[in-house]
Amino acid sequence: MTISDQDILFLGGCVREAAQAEIMPRFRNLGAADISEKTSAIDVVTQADLLAEHRITAALKERFPSALVVGEEAYETDRSVVPALADADLAFVIDPVDGTFNFAAGLPVFGTMLAVTVKGETVAGIIHDPVLGDTVTAIKGAGAFLTRQDGQSSRLRVAEPAALNQMVGGISWGHMDDPDRSRISANMAKIRMTFAFNCSAYEYWMVASGKLHFIGHAKLMPWDHLAGVLAHQEAGGHTAKFDGTPYRPGETTGGIISAPDRESWQMIRREIVGI
What does the pLDDT look like over 4-33, one tens digit per residue?
A: 999 999 999 999 999 999 999 999 998 888
Same domain for 230 and 142: no
Q: What domain range includes position 120?
A: 5-155
Same domain for 151 and 83: yes
241 by Cβ neighbours in 10 Å (0-12 / 13-18 / 19+) ranks as middle
Report yes or no: 73 and 223 within 8 Å, Cβ to Cβ: no
- Comparison of pLDDT for 40 and 106, the residue scoring more: 106
For residue 72, say whether it is annotated as part of any ligand binding site.
Answer: yes
Same domain for 248 and 112: no
Report yes or no: 24 and 52 within 8 Å, Cβ to Cβ: no
Q: Quick one: which of 231, 177, 164 has its CA closest to 200?
A: 231
What mean pLDDT is predicted for residues 83-94? Answer: 96
Same domain for 100 and 151: yes
Same domain for 173 and 105: no
Same domain for 230 and 107: no
What does the pLDDT look like over 208-233, one tens digit per residue?
A: 999 999 999 999 999 999 999 999 99
Torsion region of 177: left, alpha or beta (phi above 0 gives left; psi -120 to 50 gives alpha): beta
For residue 42, the model assigns a pLDDT of 62
For residue 7, say whether it is annotated as part of any ligand binding site.
Answer: no
Same domain for 107 and 80: yes
Percent of the chain's residues with pLDDT above 90 = 88
Q: Among residues 155, 179, 214, which one ends one of the domains?
A: 155
Same domain for 190 and 248: yes
Q: Among residues 114, 133, 155, which one ends one of the domains?
A: 155
Domain count, the chain: 2
For residue 230, the model assigns a pLDDT of 98
For residue 43, the model assigns a pLDDT of 67
Percent of the chain's residues with pLDDT above 70 = 97
Question: First and final CA of the chain: distance in angstroms?
Answer: 39
For residue 76, the model assigns a pLDDT of 83
For residue 73, the model assigns a pLDDT of 81
Q: Is the pLDDT of residue 62 over 80?
A: yes
Scored b (16 or more CB within 10 A) or e, 16-51 reads bebbeebbbebbeebeeeebeeeeeeeebbbbbbbb
Same domain for 138 and 242: no
Q: Is the pLDDT of residue 40 over 80?
A: no
Same domain for 224 and 195: yes
Q: Among residues 111, 126, 155, which one ends one of the domains?
A: 155
Same domain for 125 and 71: yes
For residue 224, say whether it is annotated as part of any ligand binding site.
Answer: yes
Same domain for 115 and 49: yes
| 38-42, 133-137, 236-240, 262-266: range with lowest mean pLDDT | 38-42
Q: Tell me, what CATH number does 220's domain have?
A: 3.40.190.80
- Positive or negative, the CA dihedral 133, 139, 145, 151 is negative
For residue 221, the model assigns a pLDDT of 95
CA-CA distance, 110 to 97, in Å (whole number)? 6
For residue 78, say whether it is annotated as part of any ligand binding site.
Answer: no
What does the pLDDT look like over 228-260, one tens digit per residue?
A: 999 999 999 999 999 999 999 999 999 999 999
Q: Tell me, what CATH number does 94's domain have?
A: 3.30.540.10
**pTM, full prediction:** 0.95
Mean pLDDT score of the chain, rounded to an integer? Answer: 95
